[in-house]
A and B are shown apart, each in its own frame.
Chain A
Amino acid sequence: MRFSDQFEQRFSEMLTHYPTKRSVLVPTLLYAQDETGFLSDEVIAEIAGRLELSELDVRNVISYYSMLTTKRRGKFNVQVCTNIACMLRGGEELFEHCEKKLGIGHKGTTLDGAFSLEEVECIGGCSWAPAVQVNYDFHENLTPEKMDRVLADYRNRLHE
């Protein structure tokens, strides 16, 4: 199992921040997922081994946090907030728009593996609703038209 040098550097540095090894688990899983797209059995075994945890324990933790996934996702994970503030300003319509546009539903992934779609809870974009996160990037004050441009931008990035 190989992660990037940056991951390794971050991982070994984080280990020095806590009195217990397992304390690095949650951020480490997220960084690992950033590199591998999802938390495969192999990644779980690797991290469990490094932190002297059982794989069961690691799986239990993964399944608790909504950002962590053991299923393959698209390169760009489109997370549409439909919580109250966003809902009141068209978040649900935006989500439906994305469904149509991408041809996938909640937690679906496009056949080409480019996009995944997810309806998410509050991402802290309330004052700039409706808000969407694509991977970690915020897109706010969206309309269906603006959303089309956002998606087009990402599609263009696929070929970069």
Chain B
Amino acid sequence: MPDVNITIDGKKVTAPAGTLLIEACKSVGIEVPSFCYYPNLSLQGACRMCLVKIEKMPKLQTACTTVITEGMAVSTDTPEIHQARKGMVELLLGNHPLDCPVCDAGGECELQDMTFSYGAAESRYIEPKHHREEQQWSPVVYFDRPRCILCYRCVRVCGEGMDVWALGVQNRGVSSIIAPNQEDHLECEECGMCIDICPVGALTSGAYRYKTRPWEMNHVGTPCTHCADGCKTTLGVRRSDTGMEIVRGDNRDKSGINGDFLCIKGRYAFDFVDSAERITRPLIRKDGQLTPASWEEAFQLVGRNFRETLERHGGQAIGVFGSNRTTNEENYLLQKFARVVLQTNNIDHHRTADFPALAAALAGKSGRTASMRDVYSAPAILLIGSDPTEQHPLLAWQIRNNVRLHRARLYVVNSQSIKLRRQATLFAQVPESGGEAAFIDFLAGNAAHAGENAAQLQDLRDKVRAEPELVVIFGSELRGESIARLVNALPQAKFVSLGDYANSRGAADMGLYPDLLPGYLPLDKGSSFAADWGTLPTLPGLNFLQMSESAKAGQLKALYVVGANPINRFKVDPFAFSIVRIADAMGFEVHKLVPFRRGEPADMGQSRGAQSGEADRHAVWLEAHGLEPKMSPFDPMAIFDEIQRLVPGYEVARLNLMAGNDQHTEFSGLGALQDPGLIVPANDGLFTSGTLGRYSKVLNSVSENQHRTEQTEVAAD
């Protein structure tokens, strides 16, 4: 777009044609206040705070609805403007309860800030304020009605941003009020975006309200531990009796790849960390009973057993199962421990996507994977399988908003009528179990479609092929050969393979495979690792199902499980492992490995901070048991050095990463075809998150509250 030159408060400003005046002001550091204006949501012109003076216009104009035009001369701070804004604040305060001392938003309130800026301190009105009782709309959403200033941000973010449309405006005039879809309560995706976007304390969160004053918190940015979308959540932490307590999750500084987006899990489901049932001490089975023990005792036991097993039966008698929720460094260290110390390739993890197949399909090609940012900007997207709204909320947000704001074309191929079809240019429903893979055969070939909705699929194939820039996103429905065919069928496209857990991709990248080293290198291509680590086991390892068989046959003698729940996931007979009694020190999965309490599965999460201590403990342990050679370094930074040195695809801008920014990594290894049966989708929905979710009070309370009956589909506006 051509640039337009305007003058703001005497400053010459150049901005692309089509820019809103309020944004042009922002671009040169002139803040024009607003309540209702919110970037990327529809324009309202309702709060009248952004009034500015534009030369030749008789009245003050709203900067939020004015598109800049060549030669426009604007004043943003004259006495008239100041008075207009002060007048608006006064009018709002007329009915707004001044309960700031007990309001959650106190200290983080845009109305407070505006009152501070425009000095509307005097109250001119003596009539009583309109009062209405507070309402609880859901376990996590409370609405304090008198505090609402009707900026309609919540209504828009819910409708336009989330495509949920659960909020509306009821009544008119001074009786106007934000209303939830079920008259007195909400049935929605519980993302909390409405609370997050509320400029005042009208919408508050059940998880946070009345817990703290905002200034009592410290803020820690961290990746969300739930799905694989990689949102950043800023945890508000506060000192408490038991140390530090997490009281809030949000991303108000928009510093993550998710911008201001978070789903219910990222916003509230950090509470599993405080579960009373969380195992925080090692447990050792003594006389048939799991008994709390000291770390030293546990390490000694584990170290001794590993060494004995190794000496008596060799590395093939030991299995290692890694985690989709620990860091790259931890997983790297784990597979290195397996291969170097335990001398085994018997290492696996819960696979939710066929990353090795994509790595193989893309071998020798660069620039063929897409990032979460690309999904927001690509002119066209083909989504095959998966239900991002449920399983990848950020991805769904990016797709929706790309369609809404950039008019991207979305093509959806799915066996279910997933919600994202509402944004789709073309939606093709394919048969269940195998429909998506069959579609790839059709897409890759030139044959006419014989089955149902042939014309539609034909049309879709033509359109997708004709897209010059295309991002293809696929779920676990596509595995193995299908992925290779897909990549070859669309030579112009960039690909995204959807894993299900926070670090599914990292677990795969870091070589938690019996036949692949980090970077998807087959065992016989591991010379660089061998040069660094010394001798590596050459015998291909056992995958988890094979380990189970081996345990049954009495050959596998020990299994080391880190942060996972394989018995549950793979539905293998837990008694196959009855002789195997070694669990991760932090207690992931002991319940399932060893029937415990009610015999329910109960894998426990842990914060990343705790995990970085893990490596130190390993160090002590390894040293004590002579299992140490070549395992150092243990410092996460140093491990990352080693990863960057040895693992293909990790030549990333390190400073960017350390600054907490997102960093795209490519597949550079060779990959290898995997047994598709080992891929077991997590099938988590919006309100579940595997074991972590089962120990989140918020997720449980929301699940219990939901009557997730089939909602009638409604028009999107």
**Residues of chain A at the chain B interface (Cβ within 8 Å):** 21-22, 48-49, 52-57, 59-60, 63-64
Most A CB atoms within 10 A — which of B165, B166, B168?
Answer: B168
Q: Is the CB of A53 within 8 A of B714?
A: yes
Q: Is the CB of A53 within 8 A of B715?
A: yes
Partner of A64 from B166, B172, B712 at Cβ < 8 Å: B172
Q: Is the CB of B171 within 8 A of A63?
A: yes
Q: Mark B160-197, 1 if CB is under 8 A from A, else 0.
A: 00000111111110000001110100000000000000
Partner of B165 from A52, A57, A64 at Cβ < 8 Å: A57
In the complex the two chains form, what is the Cα distance from A63 to B172 in whole Å? 7
In the complex the two chains form, what is the Cα distance from A63 to B181 in whole Å? 14
Partner of B168 from A22, A49, A56 at Cβ < 8 Å: A56
Q: Is the CB of A59 within 8 A of B714?
A: no
Interface of A is mostly: helix
Q: Which residue of A lies closest to B167 (CB)?
A: A56
Partner of B179 from A21, A49, A60 at Cβ < 8 Å: A60
Seed contacts A48-B714, A52-B713, A54-B181; 15 additional CB < 8 Å A-B pairs: A21-B715, A53-B715, A54-B165, A54-B712, A55-B181, A56-B165, A56-B166, A56-B167, A57-B165, A57-B714, A59-B179, A59-B183, A60-B168, A60-B179, A63-B170
In the complex the two chains form, what is the Cα distance from A55 to B182 in whole Å? 8
Q: Mark B454-466, 1 if CB is under 8 A from A, else 0.
A: 0000000000000
Q: Is the CB of A56 within 8 A of B181?
A: yes
In the complex the two chains form, what is the Cα distance from A54 to B714 in whole Å? 6
List residues of B (667-717) whose CB comes within 8 Å of A's CBs.
712-715
> Count the A-B residue pairs with Cβ separation under 8 angstroms: how many?
38
In the complex the two chains form, what is the Cα distance from A59 to B167 in whole Å? 11
Q: Which residue of B lies closest to A20 (CB)?
A: B715
In the complex the two chains form, what is the Cα distance from A60 to B155 in whole Å? 12
Q: What are the 7 closest A-B residue pairs judged by CB atoms, nearest first?
A: A60-B168, A56-B181, A54-B714, A63-B171, A56-B168, A63-B170, A64-B172
In the complex the two chains form, what is the Cα distance from A60 to B179 in whole Å? 8
Partner of A49 from B167, B170, B712 at Cβ < 8 Å: B712
Distance between A20 CB and nearest chain B CB, rounded to angstroms: 8
Partner of B169 from A48, A53, A60 at Cβ < 8 Å: A60
Q: Which residues of A contact B712 (CB under 8 A)?
A: 48-49, 54
Q: Which residues of B contact A22 (CB under 8 A)?
A: 715
Q: Mark B605-628, 1 if CB is under 8 A from A, else 0.
A: 000000000000000000000000
* Contact A52/B168 with A59-B179, A59-B183, A60-B179 known, Cβ cut-off 8 Å: no
Q: Which residues of A contact B179 (CB under 8 A)?
A: 56, 59-60
Q: Which residue of B lies closest to A65 (CB)?
A: B172
Distance between B151 CB and nearest chain A CB, rounded to angstroms: 17
Q: Is the CB of B165 within 8 A of A60?
A: no
Q: Which residue of A lies closest to B155 (CB)?
A: A60
Distance between B260 CB and nearest chain A CB, rounded to angstroms: 24
A-B contact pairs, 13 of them (CB 8 A): A52-B713, A52-B714, A54-B181, A54-B712, A55-B181, A56-B165, A56-B179, A57-B168, A59-B170, A60-B168, A63-B172, A64-B171, A64-B172
Distance between B148 CB and nearest chain A CB, rounded to angstroms: 15
Q: Is the CB of A60 within 8 A of B715?
A: no
Q: Which residues of B contact A56 (CB under 8 A)?
A: 165-168, 179-181
Q: Which residues of B contact A53 (CB under 8 A)?
A: 714-715
Q: Mark B533-558, 1 if CB is under 8 A from A, else 0.
A: 00000000000000000000000000
In the complex the two chains form, what is the Cα distance from A48 to B714 in whole Å? 9
Q: Which residue of A lies closest to B712 (CB)?
A: A49
Q: Which residue of B lies closest to A64 (CB)?
A: B172
In the complex the two chains form, what is the Cα distance from A159 to B522 in whole Å? 93
Q: Which residues of B contact A64 (CB under 8 A)?
A: 171-172
In the complex the two chains form, what is the Cα distance from A60 to B169 in whole Å? 6
Distance between A99 CB and nearest chain B CB, rounded to angstroms: 23
Q: Which residue of A lies closest to B715 (CB)?
A: A52
Q: Mark B133-174, 1 if CB is under 8 A from A, else 0.
A: 000000000000000000000000000000001111111100
Q: Which residue of A lies closest to B166 (CB)?
A: A56
Distance between A121 CB and nearest chain B CB, rounded to angstroms: 12
Q: Which residues of B contact A55 (CB under 8 A)?
A: 181
In the complex the two chains form, what is the Cα distance from A54 to B179 in whole Å? 13
Distance between B264 CB and nearest chain A CB, rounded to angstroms: 20
Q: Which residue of A lies closest to B181 (CB)?
A: A56
In the complex the two chains form, what is the Cα distance from A60 to B172 in whole Å? 9
In the complex the two chains form, what is the Cα distance from A63 to B169 in whole Å? 9
Distance between B181 CB and nearest chain A CB, rounded to angstroms: 4
In the complex the two chains form, what is the Cα distance from A48 to B181 in whole Å? 13
Distance between B380 CB and nearest chain A CB, rounded to angstroms: 27
Distance between A67 CB and nearest chain B CB, rounded to angstroms: 13
In the complex the two chains form, what is the Cα distance from A59 to B165 in whole Å? 13
In the complex the two chains form, what is the Cα distance from A64 to B168 in whole Å? 12
Distance between B466 CB and nearest chain A CB, rounded to angstroms: 29
In the complex the two chains form, what is the Cα distance from A21 to B717 in whole Å? 12
Q: Which residue of B lies closest to A61 (CB)?
A: B168
Most A CB atoms within 10 A — which of B165, B166, B167, B715?
Answer: B715
Q: Which residues of A contact B181 (CB under 8 A)?
A: 54-56
Most B CB atoms within 10 A — which of A21, A63, A64?
Answer: A63
Most A CB atoms within 10 A — which of B165, B166, B170, B179?
Answer: B170
Q: Which residue of B lies closest to A57 (CB)?
A: B168
Distance between B619 CB and nearest chain A CB, rounded to angstroms: 58
Q: Which residues of A contact B170 (CB under 8 A)?
A: 59-60, 63
In the complex the two chains form, what is the Cα distance from A60 to B171 in whole Å? 7
Q: Which residue of B lies closest to A55 (CB)?
A: B181
Q: Which residues of B contact A57 (CB under 8 A)?
A: 165, 168, 714
Q: Which residues of A contact B166 (CB under 8 A)?
A: 56
Distance between B442 CB and nearest chain A CB, rounded to angstroms: 32
Q: Which residues of B contact A48 (CB under 8 A)?
A: 712, 714
In the complex the two chains form, what is the Cα distance from A77 to B168 in whole Å? 29
Most A CB atoms within 10 A — which of B165, B180, B712?
Answer: B712
Q: Which residues of B contact A49 (CB under 8 A)?
A: 712
In the complex the two chains form, what is the Cα distance from A55 to B714 in whole Å? 9
In the complex the two chains form, what is the Cα distance from A127 to B170 in whole Å? 34
In the complex the two chains form, what is the Cα distance from A90 to B181 in whole Å? 43
Q: Which residues of B contact A21 (CB under 8 A)?
A: 715
In the complex the two chains form, what is the Cα distance from A56 to B184 in whole Å? 11
Q: Which residues of B contact A52 (CB under 8 A)?
A: 713-715
In the complex the two chains form, what is the Cα distance from A144 to B424 in whole Å? 63
Q: Which residues of B contact A54 (CB under 8 A)?
A: 165, 181, 712, 714
In the complex the two chains form, what is the Cα distance from A63 to B168 in whole Å? 11
Distance between A47 CB and nearest chain B CB, rounded to angstroms: 13
In the complex the two chains form, what is the Cα distance from A46 to B359 in whole Å? 53
Q: Which residues of A contact B715 (CB under 8 A)?
A: 21-22, 52-53
Q: Which residues of A contact B167 (CB under 8 A)?
A: 56
Q: Which residues of B contact A63 (CB under 8 A)?
A: 170-172
In the complex the two chains form, what is the Cα distance from A64 to B183 in whole Å? 15
In the complex the two chains form, what is the Cα distance from A106 to B694 in whole Å? 54
Distance between A44 CB and nearest chain B CB, rounded to angstroms: 10
Q: Which residues of A contact B180 (CB under 8 A)?
A: 56
Q: Which residues of B contact A60 (CB under 8 A)?
A: 168-170, 179
Distance between A11 CB and nearest chain B CB, rounded to angstroms: 18
Distance between B642 CB and nearest chain A CB, rounded to angstroms: 55
Distance between B145 CB and nearest chain A CB, rounded to angstroms: 15
Q: Which residue of A lies closest to B173 (CB)?
A: A64
In the complex the two chains form, what is the Cα distance from A15 to B165 in whole Å? 24
Distance between A15 CB and nearest chain B CB, rounded to angstroms: 14
Distance between B524 CB and nearest chain A CB, rounded to angstroms: 59
Distance between A98 CB and nearest chain B CB, rounded to angstroms: 24
In the complex the two chains form, what is the Cα distance from A56 to B181 in whole Å? 5
Distance between B683 CB and nearest chain A CB, rounded to angstroms: 28
In the complex the two chains form, what is the Cα distance from A59 to B183 in whole Å? 9
In the complex the two chains form, what is the Cα distance from A64 to B176 in whole Å? 9
